[in-house]
Every structure is written in C-alpha cells, then in structure tokens.
Chain A
Amino acid sequence: MIWFVAKRLLAAVPTLLAVLTVVFIIVRIVPGDPALVILGDQATAEAAAALRTRLGLDQPMWVQYWTFVSNALTGNFGASLVTGRPILEEVGAVLPHTIDLTLASMVLGVVVGVPVGIWAALHRNGAIDVAARLLSLLGLSFPVFVSGIYLLLLFGLYWRLFPVIGNADLSDFGDRLHKVVLPAVALGLTMAAYITRVTRSAMLHSLGEDYIRTARAKGVPWRRVVWVHGLRNASLPVVTVVGLYVGILIGNSVLTEIVFNRPGLGKIIVGALNQRDYAMLQGLMVIYCFLIVVVNLVTDLLYGVMDPRVKQA
C-alpha cells in the first residue's frame, strides 16, 4: 500500500509542474503590456515601469518562470494587486463558505443519486427507469445559475422559506445550514443527475456479472446482493465520475455563489475580474488546479482501497 501511495504521489509531481507551466504561459500570452492592461491606457510611463518592477516583469523570462514555480510550490501564490494582501490569506478567509457549499451539494448528490440510480437499474426500462432517465437528463441540462434563480424565486421570494442572502455567521451552525440549503440544492441537482446516470449504468453492468448469480445461488438475500455485492463493484465508476466532476463543481460553485450572493471563492474571482486583479486570477487558477490534482490523486488512492486489483497494476 505504501509503495502504491508513493508511486501515485510521485506521478502527480510532473502534472503539477505542467499545470504551473500552462498557467504561466496563459497569463503571458496576453497581447500588450500586462502593466498597461492592469493600470489602464491612461497610466503614466513611470507608473507602468514601477508596476513592472513590482511584478518582476522586467526580469528575463526564465527568471520569472523560476520565481513563479518555486513560489507556487512553496505555497506562495503572490499578493492581490488591489488589497496587497497575500492571496492565500484572502482565500482562507472565505474558504469555509465555499467548502460548506460544495460538501453539502456533494452529499446531496450522492444521497439522491446513488439510490435513484440503483432503483432505476433494478427496474430497467420500466416506468421508474424512464422517469429517472428523463429527470436526470433535465437535471444535467440546468445551468446552475438558472436553477439557482428559479429556486430563489420560488423558495426565497415567493414562499419565503429560505433566506435570499447567503452570508452566514460562521460560528452558528444552524445559520450555516439554513443558508446553505438552497444553493446546495441548485449545485447538487446537476451532481445528483450525473451520479444517478453513472450509478444506473454501473449497476446494470455489475448486476449482469457471474458473481451476482453466484451470490443469489448461495441464497444471499436480494437486498444484500444489490447493496453489497452489486454496489461495491459498481462504486468504481461512480467514484471516478465524482472525481472528474470536481472540475465542473468548481465552476458551478462560482455561479452559485454569485446568484445567492454568498461569500466564497466565486465572489473573489468575480471581484478580481472586475478590478483587473490578474495576480489574484493567476493565484486562484493555480489553487484550483492544485485542488483538482489532489482530488485526482485521492480518487486514484480510493481505487486502490476499493479494488485491490488496481494496486497491482
């Protein structure tokens, strides 16, 4: 197991380096002088030169690259151009809100998606299956800002069951829970739809295997066959999809935070866009990519835990 973990960890290093390189290139292919882009066209030559020095843009390209990569790998993602505070600090301040939202929506997605997927697979081509397939297709098609606005209109403005503004008091658990419900439903809808579909097809595949017939022949109760023998073998594709879904979840959480006016990474991004805070954008992109690489790593490790055959590969 240790050898397996070490191998996976080692394999993530080149990916991280490559991700950093791509971010470095993307930010530098912007046409024009970044200093002027940041300051605007009316900036004086001195101000532009001063900013270039401050950002290290007057250094040769390889020095800039080296500084960028070594800083990022040591956890230094730079400072905001607007507030001057370190990016990690700004992110850390709002991170609990974003984590609340994404975790709640993931839980919702799994709690709804897995049973519905299994249910649909057990009633293949029946009414339940058709309904589950159509509803999951609808759920997949909802852009999160549209479902967010609809939920807000219905439950926030019309029935007034949930608050419209999502700025929760972090020390009050009840308040956090109350304010995360609507956004989590909006965000979890797509997730539940994805998980339903994958669970359904993985279960169909797994229920057709020989070990299921063996288990039934041995007299294992049907419920246990489905939830233990079937689901255990169907869980690999489901975990894969949840892992892959994190990229979409990140993008969607940005939109959800805008709609529900929640503090979080999404609001930081939009603020940075409006204020042309490119240092912040670059830092956020690196943080997001790190996050995705870590999630991929965890998914890989989970494979090893769930399916011992993976470790030998």
Chain B
Amino acid sequence: MSATAEAPVAPRVPGWRKALGKARSNPTTLVGAVICLVILAAAILAPWIAPHDPAEQDIISRLAPPGGDYPLGTDQFGRDILSRLLWGARISLTVSLGAIAVACVIGGSIGMVSGYIGGRFDLFVMQVMDVLLSFPSLILGLIVVALLGPDLVNLVVAIALTAIAPFARIARAPTLALKERAFVEAGHALGYSHLRIIFRHILPNILPEVMVMASLWMATAVRVEASLSFIGLGVKPPTPTWGGMTRDGFENILDSPWLAVFPGMAILLLVLGLNMVGDGLRDATDPKLRNE
C-alpha cells in the first residue's frame, strides 16, 4: 500500500496514478495496449471497414487463396475471411468482457463481504470457493454450456462461473488487512453502515488489485471462449467466431491451411496483447516490485 493509505480517511485510489505512469513507461505494456486497442477498434468498426458482408457467400470463389478481392481468402462457403475475422472480434470481446465483468462484480463482492465479516462465515465461503477452484475450468465451462445450450448469454455465464473464485480470493485478502485500519474504524465511529464502508471505503483500496486480475483474466476468458467455439460450443453459426472459424478451417487444413492459420493468429494476438497489458499492470501495482 502507498503511504497515503495511512491517513484516517479512506484514500482515493492509492498509487493508481503512479502505477499507470510506470505501466506507460514499460514497452511490453505499451505494445500490448496497442494490440488490444487495434482489435477493439476493428470490432467496433467492423460494419464500416469490413470489405464484405461476413455472411455473404460467393460460391464461385470458394476456398480462394489470400489475395485479390479477398485479402485473406475465403472459406468453404466462399465467405470473406477478413470480414469474418473483423466481425468475430465482436464475439470474443463481448463474451470475455461480459464474463469478466460478471465474475469481477460477483466474485469481488463475495470476497469483500466474506473478508469483512470474517470468522466462520468467511471460512465457509472460502471453502466453497476452493471447491469451485477444484473444477478444471474448461471442463466446467464445457458442461455448463452443453447443458444450458450454446448462446452468448450462456457462454458469459459459463466463463464467469469459472472465474468467480479467483476474484473472490483476490478481493478477500486485502479486505482482511484493510478492515483493521484506522479509516474503517473511523467509519464505524461516524455511524456509517457496513455496506457503505465496504463499497465506499474498502473497494477503492482494493480496486487496483482487482483490475490487474481482471486484465489478466480477460486473456483467459478470450482463450476459453475460443476453445469452447473450437469444440463446437460457441455462439451458433453463421455468426462468425474466431474459435469456430479455426474449427472450420481445421476441417479443410489439407487444401486451404490459411483458413485455420488466420483466425488462430487473431486469437493468439488478442490473448498476447491482454497478457502483455495485464503483466505490465501487475508489475506496476505490485507493492513488492514498485519500489525497485
């Protein structure tokens, strides 16, 4: 924690500025941020920048190699790969952002409340989280999506479910320490409600840790979504998803390897970009590393 956290009143986002400044000066983080922003822009601008309709089928140029009218070639239905990649970015980002937002809010609240209340309640809640952690995440996601049916909302639910426990843990640990601090005691003395103390005074202090965790888990969420789509449990066709495109491409790998290579590359780039950002943020906010 930074020195300002010693103040009797809840400090506002301690070390945030400093951390951001440090992250900015780290080339890895910068490159990662650029990759993520480019993909985000591609997803938002897809309707305007995509050269073709992602569902438009050009039967004459089926499985066309990259070049000419189709910069990255076409798939087995004669659909433009580039356009489908641009539109597919939307699914990847929507599902992973949604899942991490849900996991962050639910897991974070569970962790804070559990740590704040403490005692047997805390022990029980953490035991439940440990049980959730003992499920292999892809298998859990796979079974939940298989049971609920593959659509966007269920994918968000399934991936969020696999990420709640880690968020609860990351939010709980600092809460345990913070609730003993003077500013929390001051809050009690002023007659603030527990909820107000948790969300107005403890939350801003643990936010950096939770946000770093969120950026690292975004990468995992993108990978899990792509993996589920690759298995055939993604958002249903004809909606383009990167994992689904890789799967389709894989079926034609002997004649048209680019079909699997390009969507795979897109997934790799996004995951790499997110990991680079998350890594840089973690180095910047980690109190053990910050003073070096």
Contact = CB atoms under 8 A, between A and B. Distances in A.
Contacts of A289: 134-136
A45 interface: no
Contacts of A145: 226-227, 230, 243, 246, 264
B144 interface: yes
A134 interface: yes
A268 to B, nearest CB: 12
Contact of A15 (B130, B219, B233): B130
B261 A143 contact: no
Nearest to A295: B134
Interface string A137-157: 110111111100110110001
A111 interface: no
A142 B268 contact: yes
A251 B264 contact: no
Interface string A287-298: 011001100100
Interface in B256-274: 257, 260-261, 264-265, 267-268, 271-272
B276 interface: yes
Given A146-B246, A157-B254, A296 B226 contact: no
A91 interface: no
Given A15-B131, A30-B147, A149-B253, A247 B264 contact: no
Contacts of A270: 231-232
A30 B145 CA distance: 10
Interface string B137-164: 1111011101110000000000000000
A157 B253 CA distance: 9
B219 A141 contact: yes
Nearest to B138: A251
B230 A248 contact: no
Contacts of A251: 136-139, 227
B57 interface: no
Contacts of A144: 227
Contacts, number: 132
Contact of B134 (A134, A269, A274, A292): A292
Contacts of A284: 139
B125 to A, nearest CB: 12
Nearest to A156: B253
B147 A27 contact: yes
Taking residues whose C-beta sits less than 8 angstroms from the other chain, chain B's interface range is 35 or more
Contacts of B131: 15, 18-19, 22
Question: Which of B133, B140, B143, B144: most chain A CB closer than 10 A?
Answer: B143
Given A145-B246, A149-B253, A281 B143 contact: yes
B279 interface: yes
B5 interface: no
Contacts of A30: 147-148
A169 to B, nearest CB: 24
A250 B134 CA distance: 12
A192 interface: no
Contacts of A26: 143-144, 147
B135 A18 contact: no
A27 B279 CA distance: 37
B139 A273 contact: no
Contacts of B279: 137
Nearest to A284: B139
A270 B138 CA distance: 12
Contact of B257 (A153, A246, A278, A296): A153
B231 A273 contact: yes
A251 B158 CA distance: 14
A221 interface: no
A248 B246 contact: no
Contact of B271 (A18, A141, A269): A141
Given A15-B131, A254-B138, A143 B226 contact: yes
Nearest to B144: A26
A301 B146 CA distance: 36
B138 A18 contact: no
Nearest to B224: A251
A105 B43 CA distance: 35
B142 A273 contact: yes
A293 B233 CA distance: 27
A255 interface: yes
B21 to A, nearest CB: 20
A202 B214 CA distance: 24
Nearest to B260: A149
Contacts of A146: 246, 264-265, 267-268
Contacts of A142: 268, 271
Contacts of B268: 141-143, 146
Contacts of B140: 285
Nearest to B249: A149
B132 interface: yes
A134 B31 CA distance: 12
Contact of A273 (B135, B146, B254): B146
A220 B174 CA distance: 40
B272 A149 contact: no
Interface in A146-182: 146, 149-150, 152-153, 157
Interface of B: 28, 127-128, 130-140, 142-144, 146-148, 219, 223, 226-227, 230-233, 243, 246, 250, 253-254, 257, 260-261, 264-265, 267-268, 271-272, 275-276, 279
5 contacts: A19-B135, A22-B135, A26-B143, A134-B28, A281-B143
